[in-house]
Amino acid sequence: MKLVLLGPPGAGKGTQASRIVDKYNVVHISTGDIFRKNLSENTPLGKKAKEYMDQGLLVPDDVTVEMVEDRLSWPDITDGYMLDGFPRTISQAESLDKILDKAGDKLDLALCIEADYSLLTKRITGRRMCKCGETYHVEFHPPKVEGICDKCGGELYQRDDDKEDTVVKRLKEYEEKTQPLVDYYEKQNILKTVNGSRTVDEVFEDISKILDECK
């Protein structure tokens, strides 16, 4: 199964991705996570991405597409993958189609998690992350012990781009550049949408139904 996860910042893509990976045999490829890893290792790619991420802007398409194309050449993805946070522009979607086409492949599903705009800022500013990939929320999904990851015991931290003024810019970028992808995948007849404004379990139940049909 090859799928892309769409949805505005804070809709719950990362949260649901970690559940999808636990239940289905797909490799999780998050462009945001790859950029953050490069950033923490201070690589040239990380330094380049930081210029944009800190401002809540999208990293340029050429940089992002090259990075994804490289990731899709790794041998671990033969059983399927889930792209999270990519594509994010029409140009990225067209590039992905070309990469898949070259390999004689195609996407099975574009899964869009929608959520009320009023919820998104609250979700993002209250988010806390762990290095192991788990995501928490101070109010909606708190860890058992404050500031400590339930899964690995690691210390939780806040993402640099989760401050309120950066979040406003990220949401604007989404509306202008990423929202058009909903139509793009609808035209390809592979779009499914779930309502992400409900609890994590309810959203995952809907996603599971869709993925079970797609297997």
Specify binding-site residues: 10-15, 31, 36, 57-59, 85-88, 92, 127, 130, 132, 135-136, 149, 152, 159, 170, 198
Q: Pick what 145 binds: Zn ion, ligand AP5, none; C-beta below 5 to 8 Å, kind-dependent.
A: none
Binding-site residues for ATP, please? 10-15, 127, 135-136, 198
Residue 56 CA to residue 59 CA, distance in Å, equals: 9
What stretches of 56-205 adopt beta strand conformation (E)? 81-84, 109-114, 127-129, 135-137, 191-195
Q: Is 158 left (phi over 0), alpha (psi -120 to 50) or beta?
A: beta
The only residue of 2, 24, 29, 88 in contact with ligand AP5, by rule CB under 6 A: 88
> Residue 17's Cα: distance from chain center in Å?
8
Q: Pick what 134 binds: Zn ion, ligand AP5, none; C-beta below 5 to 8 Å, kind-dependent.
A: Zn ion
Question: Among 80, 105, 96, 86, which Cα is nearest to 27's?
Answer: 80
- Is 159 noted as a catalytic residue in this protein? yes
The only residue of 6, 14, 82, 156 in contact with ligand AP5, by rule CB under 6 A: 14
Binding site for Zn ion (CB under 5 A): 130, 132, 134, 149, 151-152, 154
Tell me the window of 54-62, 73-81, 103-111, 187-195 that interacts with ligand AP5 (CB under 6 A).
54-62
Please check whether residue 185 is in contact with residue 6, taking contact to mean a CB–CB distance below 8 angstroms: yes
Q: Which two tokens stand for residue 166?
A: 């950066």
Distance in Å, CB of 215 to ligand AP5, minimum: 23
**How far are the Cα atoms of 44, 88, 100, 120 from residue 12, in angstroms, in the given order?**
29, 16, 26, 9
- Asked if 130 interacts with ligand AP5 (CB under 6 A), we say no
Distance in Å, CB of 39 to Zn ion, minimum: 19
- Is 71 noted as a catalytic residue in this protein? no
- Is 19 noted as a catalytic residue in this protein? no
The only residue of 111, 203, 207, 211 in contact with ligand AP5, by rule CB under 6 A: 203
DSSP 59: P
Indicate which residues carry an active-site annotation: 13, 88, 127, 159, 170
